[in-house]
Structure 1
Amino acid sequence: MHIEVITTGDEVLTGFIVDSNAAWLCQRLLAQGLQVQRRQTVGDELAQLIAILQERSQFADVIIVNGGLGPTSDDKTTEAAALAAGVGLELDTAWLAQLEARYASRGRPMPSSNRKQAMLPAGATKLDNPIGTACGFALQIGRARCFFTPGVPNEFFRMVDEQILPRLATGEQSHRTEVRRYFTFGVSESALSDQLDNLSWPPHIVLGYRSAMPLIEIKLISQQADKTDFAQAEQQLLPILAPYLVGQGDWQMAMDLQQRLGTRALVLHEDASQGLLLRQLAPALPQMTAHFGPLPANAVGLLETLQQYDGLHLAVGRASEAGIPLALWDGQQGMAQTLNIGLQDQQLHTTVISFAALHMLQRHLQALPAICDYQTLKRSELRQSKLLG
């Protein structure tokens, strides 16, 4: 199924509004096995709206159009849809009555401009909007089933989930997209590309990359592959990713640590991380506590600081020219290291180093050595210690 997304509006085209609706929609569709093939943005000019609908309806099976259903003069999507389909506009008396009743319930008359929102292209199927004044509609244009939606995010999200996805669920299962996701840390996208791009992948399998610091996400994407194809692809992919693999699927570090810790308490000590660990983990780990304040700027001193405590402790020390020290102590033994990624952006540098601290904790809870080698982080100091006696 060839799906395209068109976002309308001068404010989106000029960047005054970030097009978060389209990003959400593409992710929401992919979760249902439906991959968007193309995204475009067009302004409020009627001729351009008509042109893009007529052009893309020659190629797409489904087009989801977002925005331009309001009551004002710059909202031209409905008119453009009718002209692109070669039909006129008709008054939907049921929707008009619903609008009038909604305003009456608020104790005021409906502005005359809202009548425009009850004018729909002839032959269109209305898509209900229980929380806004702009109903959506579905209309066949060319070869494409076109769905027109309001730009208000909460109205749009609800219409997609309740009105559009159920209609798309009847599509051919053989054309549904399956995506398998793998998250790596401590290795560059180019280093992975050097190892993976020259391999021979099974038919219908496409390899994808996404850099989202501090992680590199690798994806296996297919619209037609079966379990055998994915098993063959993973057989050659996973050994290469293994030294850097931190999670798969819908993985999130906070949820991963929550599952591994169970009811076990965790204490954070933060200096250079400035509360970043707490902000990331607090929603998933309510039993966690945190301390802030000056900490040693070296691995040896940081680990010695933690050795005075019982239980599980994770610390990010003070930054120095050598880097930032990280330490983990479980009440009996501990590991510490000083790492530096060499980034000029201090905020990004702290984000990456803080994730390295969480990676130490994750590996410890997996009964793996807490300290491992990275390609993208330099280690200047390493320390291990056990409780004596």
Structure 2
Amino acid sequence: MRAMVITTGEEILKGEVVDTHASWISEKLCEVGVEVVGHLSVGDNLASLKEAFLRVAGRCEVAVVTGGLGPTEDDLTARAVAESAGVALVEDPAATASVAAYFEGRHLAVPASNLKQARLPKGSSCIPNPVGTAPAFSLELAGTRFWFLPGVPREMRYLMTESVLPAMVALQPNGARLVKTAITTFGLPESLVGERLSGLESIFQGIHVGYRASLPVIEVKIWAFDREGGSLEKIQQAASAEALKRLGEYVVSGHGLSMAEAVAERLCETNKTVAVAESCTGGLIGSLLTDVSGSSDWFLLSAVTYANSAKENVLGVSGETLAAHGAVSAETVKEMAEGVKRTSGADIGIATSGIAGPTGGTDEKPVGTVWIGIATDAGTEALHFVSPFKERHQNKRIFAFKALDLLRRAI
């Protein structure tokens, strides 16, 4: 079964809001075996909305539309649908009850403007919305079953999960099922990842390989729509195993974890704790690690010791070391890593010092240079790396991920 996803709103077209709805809806549709064949974004304009609905109608089996169901004058979706279908907007009893229930549950009177949300195209099926004011609805146009959902993320996701996806499954009781493996890689550019996986689709017929670059990691998806009672799932699993073998040491996770999540997984498995001393990364490593739920179990301390005086006073780095070798050196990051490990009592201390740019580089230490130190009970090591980039934000991310990858490998 094929689907189109339509998102509405001037803010999307003007670039004021990133359209995350389309990607989330598409992912959920694929999970229940619905093949998404296109995305379409439309502004809050009656003629444009009608044109979009009629363009999609009849070209796929199902469509999901978000936005434009609110109480204001620029919320035009219901009217555009009615005019596209050649029917009137009428007050829907189920929609009226849904709007009233939302306000009554909060001991509020129903504003007159919100009653507009209870007027739906004649012949449509109302989908009550218990988490917002806008009821959703469904209607068939030219053989395509449309679902119209509010644009508020929480409401859209609730209604998609509770109403739309079960309906999609019911429409295709013997339909396809998505089987997918997500592989996170680090250390190879997208082109070389692609070269390593070249020919995989030819060897394993029916599977698809997709790539997504999210600096500095490359995500690989090995997927298939299993329509053959399980045979394609076995092929997909074999293809995934081959992909993991070819990517080898560059695989961070074979089940879609981020770099920080993969580090957290290993820390939990080994019952280890970590502390971080950062200079050039400015707290980014600590931020990435504490984005992981449950990080308080294994993350003890983050110290952004940017100035040399902070390296000395907070971490105990020797002034002689700084004078002899400089802040960006193997000797300094080793003492930083040892200092943060000692101060925090963590099992592992990791430290960074480098030149993120765009200024500050020299012939000996160009922009993009970083030293990463790691201290464990087995000893202290330092890794030297030079990024090819000159832009500060890119280098900070690459330095942070290099440090996390070193930590992941060391655990």
Q: TM-score range by the shorter chain?
A: 0.7 to 0.9
Pair 1:356-2:368 in alignment: no
Of 339-348 and 288-297, more deviation after overlay is shown by 288-297
Q: Deviations over 1:115-143 (max 9, x none)?
A: 32111122211111113221000111122
Residue 382 of structure 1 is matched in structure 2 by: none
Shift of 1:233: 2.0
Of 237-246 and 80-89, more deviation after overlay is shown by 80-89
- What TM-score comes out, normalization by structure 1 length? 0.85
Whole-Å Cα distance in 1 between the matches of residues 112 and 51 of structure 2? 29
The AA in structure 2 aligned to 1:315 is A
Shift of 1:28: 3.3
Q: Is the 8 A contact 1:35 1:177 kept in 2?
A: no
Instruction: Assess, with a 3 A threshold, how the Cα gap between structure 1 residues 260 and 196 changes in structure 2: closer, same or farther.
Output: closer
- Which secondary structure state, in structure 1, belongs to the residue aligned with residue 74 of structure 2? coil
Residue 256 of structure 1 is matched in structure 2 by: 262
The aligned runs of 1:150-299 (5 Å cut-off) are 150-170=150-170, 171-199=172-200, 200-224=202-226, 226-262=232-268, 263-282=271-290, 283=292, 284-286=294-296, 287=298, 288-293=300-305, 294=308, 295=311, 296-299=327-330
Whole-Å Cα distance in 1 between the matches of residues 105 and 220 of structure 2? 52
Normalized per residue, the structure richer in helix is: 2
The aligned runs of 1:328-367 (5 Å cut-off) are 328-365=374-411
The aligned runs of 1:22-171 (5 Å cut-off) are 22-100=22-100, 103=103, 110-170=110-170, 171=172
The AA in structure 2 aligned to 1:357 is A
Residue 378 of structure 1 is matched in structure 2 by: none
Shift of 1:175: 2.0
Whole-Å Cα distance in 1 between the matches of residues 333 and 103 of structure 2? 64
Whole-Å Cα distance in 1 between the matches of residues 109 and 275 of structure 2? 59
- Which secondary structure state, in structure 2, belongs to the residue aligned with residue 313 of structure 1? strand
Shift of 1:103: 4.9
Of 163-172 and 62-71, more deviation after overlay is shown by 163-172
Residue 317 of structure 2 is matched in structure 1 by: none
Shift of 1:230: 1.7
Q: Is the 8 A contact 1:184 1:215 kept in 2?
A: yes
Shift of 1:327: 1.3
Whole-Å Cα distance in 1 between the matches of residues 110 and 175 of structure 2? 47
Q: Is the 8 A contact 1:181 1:248 kept in 2?
A: yes
Shift of 1:31: 4.3
2:352 equivalent among 301, 316, 322: 316
Whole-Å Cα distance in 1 between the matches of residues 110 and 281 of structure 2? 53
- Which secondary structure state, in structure 2, belongs to the residue aligned with residue 223 of structure 1? strand
Whole-Å Cα distance in 2 between the matches of residues 104 and 206 of structure 1? 50
Of 84-93 and 322-331, more deviation after overlay is shown by 84-93
Shift of 1:146: 0.7
Whole-Å Cα distance in 2 between the matches of residues 303 and 101 of structure 1? 63
Shift of 1:109: 5.2
Of 167-176 and 215-224, more deviation after overlay is shown by 167-176
Q: Is the 8 A contact 1:327 1:335 kept in 2?
A: yes
Of 340-349 and 228-237, more deviation after overlay is shown by 228-237
Q: Is the 8 A contact 1:136 1:150 kept in 2?
A: yes
Of 39-48 and 351-360, more deviation after overlay is shown by 39-48
The AA in structure 2 aligned to 1:298 is S
The AA in structure 1 aligned to 2:180 is V
Shift of 1:148: 0.3
Residue 380 of structure 1 is matched in structure 2 by: none
Instruction: Assess, with a 3 A threshold, how the Cα gap between structure 1 residues 115 and 326 changes in structure 2: closer, same or farther.
Output: same
Shift of 1:105: 7.0
Shift of 1:101: 6.1
Q: Deviations over 1:174-220 (max 9, x none)?
A: 42322211111111111222343345232211111110011011111
Of 65-74 and 191-200, more deviation after overlay is shown by 191-200
Whole-Å Cα distance in 2 between the matches of residues 95 and 236 of structure 1? 52
Shift of 1:172: 4.2
Instruction: Assess, with a 3 A threshold, how the Cα gap between structure 1 residues 99 and 191 changes in structure 2: closer, same or farther.
Output: closer
The gaps in structure 2 that reach 5 residues or longer are: 312-326, 356-360
Instruction: Assess, with a 3 A threshold, how the Cα gap between structure 1 residues 57 and 258 changes in structure 2: closer, same or farther.
Output: same
Residue 300 of structure 1 is matched in structure 2 by: 331
Instruction: Assess, with a 3 A threshold, how the Cα gap between structure 1 residues 258 and 119 changes in structure 2: closer, same or farther.
Output: same
The AA in structure 2 aligned to 1:18 is V
The gaps in structure 1 that reach 5 residues or longer are: 366-389
Shift of 1:265: 2.1
Whole-Å Cα distance in 2 between the matches of residues 248 and 24 of structure 1? 21
Instruction: Assess, with a 3 A threshold, how the Cα gap between structure 1 residues 105 and 255 changes in structure 2: closer, same or farther.
Output: closer
Of 142-151 and 222-231, more deviation after overlay is shown by 222-231
- Which secondary structure state, in structure 2, belongs to the residue aligned with residue 169 of structure 1? helix
Q: CA RMSD in A?
A: 2.5
Identity %: 30
Of 60-69 and 317-326, more deviation after overlay is shown by 317-326
- Which secondary structure state, in structure 1, belongs to the residue aligned with residue 203 of structure 2? coil
The AA in structure 1 aligned to 2:59 is F
Whole-Å Cα distance in 2 between the matches of residues 266 and 180 of structure 1? 30
